Amino acid sequence: MVDQFQSEPIPDEEDQKDAPRGKRTSCMGFIIDTVETILLALVLFVVINALSARVRVENVSMKPTLQPGEFLLINRVAYKLGEPDIGDIIVFHAPGESEMDYIKRVIGLPGDQVRIEDGTVYVNEQPLYETYVADQPRYTGTWDVPDGQYFVLGDNRNNSSDSHLWGFVPEDDIVGRALLIYWPFSEITILSNPDAVQAVQ
């Protein structure tokens, strides 16, 4: 009597055709997923860079608000949707320079008159109450801000190259508004427009 047994089943032709196709499909799916992920990352990178910028503070002109070595996040579209306001910290192209940027605080808007006398800054004859400055300015002067331009000062008033020395910032030269300090982590701070920057009645 012949023993009956079953050996390993032999795959039919259809199974043999499907096996390598499944491997190829799996490999192709992985490649497609990888390419999609890379493309999405590139799109996000381009969008983020179009909407924001990152800058490093290089000098002492904005002390004590900003310290050399700190990194800031800049909103590039802030003034596409609105206008600069007194107290905003802005980044702009340095006068006569296309590759160098400055960071200062907006003090005078188009049409304003800025006067500095006896250590006090006046805008349209109203004194500004500024608790953030390193020291009161030791210089004097009066400036009438033209249309489409802004008067800016560094918070370190007596150690800053700003509008009191070289004039106004054209609106087209403004890169954006400083949003926050993001590095070092211990110094993370949102740079909101302080309530103290207002005309004292």
The domains of the chain are located at: 13-53, 57-190
Q: What is the pLDDT of residue 7?
A: 47
Answer with the residue of higher pLDDT: 129 or 194: 129
Q: What is the pLDDT of residue 200?
A: 42
Q: What is the pLDDT of residue 81?
A: 87
Q: Is this structure's pTM higher than 0.85? A: no
Catalytic residue chosen out of the listed positions 63, 104, 160, 163 = 104
Contact (Cβ atoms closer than 8 angstroms) between residue 163 and residue 170: no
104 is catalytic: yes
Nearest Cα to Cα of residue 145 among 106, 105, 95, 111: 111
Q: What is the pLDDT of residue 193?
A: 74
Residue 16 to residue 40: CA distance in whole angstroms? 37
Residue 170 to residue 153: CA distance in whole angstroms? 14
Catalytic residue chosen out of the listed positions 23, 26, 61, 161 = 61
Q: Does residue 162 surpass a pLDDT of 70?
A: yes
Domain 57-190 is found in CATH 2.40.37.20: no
Q: Does residue 89 surpass a pLDDT of 50?
A: yes
61 is catalytic: yes
Residue with tokens 């000098």: 59
